[in-house]
Amino acid sequence: MSKMYYAETPDAAHDIHDLKVNLLGESFQFYTDAGVFSKKMIDFGSQVLLNSLDLEDGKTLLDVGCGYGPLGISLAKVQGVKVTMIDINSRAIDLAKQNAERNKVDVDIFQSNIYESVTGKFDYVISNPPIRAGKKVVHQVIEEAYDHLNQGGTLTIVIQKKQGAPSAKAKMEDVFGNAEVVKKDKGYYILRSEKIWEQLI
């Protein structure tokens, strides 16, 4: 059986697709491949997440679990944020780098197991987390985002209700002291928390 899309080194035979899509009112082209998430189209959850974001030009953003890059690349191009993109999947990272170049976007892309290789803090952290990797990974994406956000920064994730949105919202409330449902669309929830206070150790 082939490794899942959240594996470090997918072993599925290559199956390159060339997607031409419209995101945030702009045209993009993306190479995708077997062994990465949602290779045949931009998944609905990512589209709902994208359409819920209104970011400030020049601010910094971290895209956790970027896959072949549609979220970070389109936000950099259309909303003018300074984007860093990470994924555990080496094949996804290679594709994201090609796609950034192809769409003439200057972003920072590197391999990282969740936040393992990430330094510094950001104004925004976004994620369409790898649900199939399990609740522990999803909760780690939420919990460790706190330390990678500037004061006033936000974490925004997309997750289906049936795949754990209530549990993720409770975790966000626990970590950040706040969590709101920004949008609901066909069972997909957009959840957002703001870093408004430093935890006292």
CATH no. for residue 70? 3.40.50.150
The dihedral through the CA atoms of 148, 56, 81, 63 has a sign that is: positive
Q: What is the pLDDT of residues 82-116, one digit of tens each?
A: 999 999 888 889 999 999 999 999 999 999 999 99
Residue 54 CA to residue 118 CA, distance in Å, equals 24
Any domain includes 66:
yes
Looking at residue 60, its amino acid is T
Any domain includes 3:
no
pTM exceeds 0.85: yes
What is the distance, to the nearest Å, from the Cα of residue 75 to the centroid of all Cα atoms in its chain? 11
Residue 134 CA to residue 164 CA, distance in Å, equals 10
Q: What is the pLDDT of residues 111-145, one digit of tens each?
A: 999 999 999 999 999 999 876 666 788 999 999 99
Any domain includes 46:
yes
Any domain includes 1:
no
Give every CB contact of residue 119 below 8 A, 6+ residues apart in sequence: none
Domain containing 36 equals 17-194
Question: Do 157 and 131 touch, CB atoms closer than 8 A?
Answer: no
Domain count, the chain: 1
**Residues 84-88: contacts with CB under 8 Å, at least 24 apart:** 84/60, 84/108, 84/109, 84/110, 84/118, 84/122, 85/109, 85/110, 86/62, 86/110, 86/111, 86/112, 86/114, 86/115, 86/117, 86/118, 87/111, 87/112, 88/6, 88/7, 88/8, 88/112, 88/113, 88/114
Looking at residue 165, its amino acid is A
Residue 183 CA to residue 89 CA, distance in Å, equals 29
Greater pLDDT, 20 or 70? 70
Any domain includes 4:
no
Any domain includes 79:
yes
Of 19-33, 58-72, 176-190, least confident by mean pLDDT is: 19-33
pLDDT at 156 over 90: yes
Any domain includes 57:
yes
Any domain includes 145:
yes
Residue 113 CA to residue 2 CA, distance in Å, equals 19
